[in-house]
Amino acid sequence: MQTNTFRRTPLYSWHKNAGAKLVPFAGWEMPVVYTSIMEEHKAVRKGLGLFDVSHMGQIFVEGKNSFKFIQNLITNDLSRCKLKCGIYGHLCNEKGGVIDDIFVYSLGLERYLIIVNAATIQKDFEWMKKNNLCEARLENSSASFGMMALQGPKSEACALQIFKTLPNRHEIQEVMYAGAPLFICRTGYTGEDGFEFVVHESKTVQLWEQILTSGHELGILPCGLGARDTLRLEAGYLLYGQDVDETKSTVESGPSWVVAWQKDFIGKEALLKKKDDKSLNKLFAFRLKERGIPRHSSQVYCNGNLVGRVTSGSFSPSLNIGIALAYVPQNLEGNFEIECGAKRVMAEKVRLPFYKKEQ
């Protein structure tokens, strides 16, 4: 009999008992949907939703040379990251290809928490060890923590029922929860206000259930990967392994603000050569003009010619239209069409994000 080789989060039994549809994702068995993607998506846009993201990885970096070490690894400028704050960046190889996109949090003087993607935890950690010329102390603590994301305009109201104080946008707060360490991050992957909680694995179920109880009257819903994907695509956030990977550079995939050209980092020389290379395809956003649903690998046409393929595509529940990301030649203009099933549907290039919440 074939055994299940997928890893399971501390919340696996809870998901199963709640009737979630479980699917393989990045080596894990994860909930893709509980009720419907549409319902869960709209719950986050209008109220709040709770996601299990325990498959994500946590790497701690400490020591007197930790700042210098991380600054050499990431494309963004760590000096912009104030104490108790976080910054987004790319890990690049020498050719400029993206090893991973990460979030770095400054926990204290020469003490950092790096959140990495599920499928790249070991790869990232090995890359860090290989390039640890500063002899910073590295610890892959991914197996010791669970992680969940509370997202939506009512997330603060829910979290304040549990915690006395909360961090501001892109800040982190380190507290104790039920006798174990907890990191509260004011970040997310949905385009809405929200929090990501990095909690000791033994306390994951307890915090999950407490959040659901606190958010009950606010209309909270547990949400799966399906809604997480439509939400992040509307917000214009990349999915590693699909929209960007080691075959695509930061210059090609963007966003442009993630590169701090004034400082040195691994891959900078290669990126400088690509920066003005007009022959490279770049990642662009497309919005359909008619009904249709673009999917991953759907063909993209311009003036009748095949010019690229969709990396991420879906129906947008917020905009009620199909949206997509695709690599196509720079400065290409004309009549775009995207393959949707057996037909081609007219599309237009647009600026990200597709969806922006009302202020």
- What is the reported pTM? 0.96
Q: Taking residues 87-92, report their average pLDDT.
A: 98
Domain 57-136 has what CATH class?
Answer: alpha beta
pLDDT at 1 over 70: no
Say what the pLDDT of residue 56 is.
Answer: 98
Mean predicted confidence (pLDDT) in 324-331 = 97
Considering the domain 12-56+143-234 in this protein, what is its CATH number? 3.30.1360.120
pLDDT beyond 70 at 183: yes
- pLDDT of amino acid 179: 98
What digits encode the pLDDT tens for the residues 262-288? 999 999 999 999 999 999 999 999 999
Degrees (nearest 5) of the Cα angle 118, 80, 153? 60
Mean pLDDT across 176-202: 98
Digit-coded pLDDT (tens) for 122-177: 999 999 999 999 889 999 999 999 999 999 999 999 999 999 999 999 999 999 99
Confidence check: pLDDT of 2 > 80: no
| 90-109 residue pLDDT tens | 999 999 999 999 999 999 98
What value does the mean pLDDT take over residues 333-346? 97
Look at the domain 278-350 and name its fold. Elongation Factor Tu (Ef-tu); domain 3 (2.40.30)
Residue 318's pLDDT band, with cuts at 50, 70 and 90, is very high
Q: Determine what percent of the chain is predicted with pLDDT higher than 90.
A: 95
**pLDDT (mean) for 77-102:** 98
Checking if the pLDDT of 3 tops 70, the result is no
Q: Which residue has better confidence, 1 or 207?
A: 207
Sheet of strand 172-177: strand arrangement = 172-177, 180-185, 194-200, 145-151, 49-52, 221-223
Q: In this structure, what token pair is assigned to residue 212?
A: 């659901």
Domain ranges of the chain: 12-56+143-234, 57-136, 278-350
Task: Report the 3 state secondary structure along the chain.
Answer: CCCCCCECCCCHHHHHHCCCEEEEECCEEEEEECCCHHHHHHHHHHCCEEEECCCCEEEEEECCCHHHHHHHHECCCHHHCCCCEEEEEEEECCCCEEEEEEEEEEEECCEEEEEECHHHHHHHHHHHHHCCCCCCEEEECHHHEEEEEEECCCHHHHHCCCCCCCCCCCEEEEEEECCEEEEEECCCCCCCCEEEEEEEHHHHHHHHHHHHHHCHHHCCEEECHHHHHHHHHHCCCCCECCCECCCCEHHHHCCHHHCCCCCCCCCHHHHHHHHCCCCCEEEEEEEECCCCCCCCCCEEEECCEEEEEEEEEEEECCCCEEEEEEEEECCCCCCEEEEECCEEEEEEEECCCCCCCCC
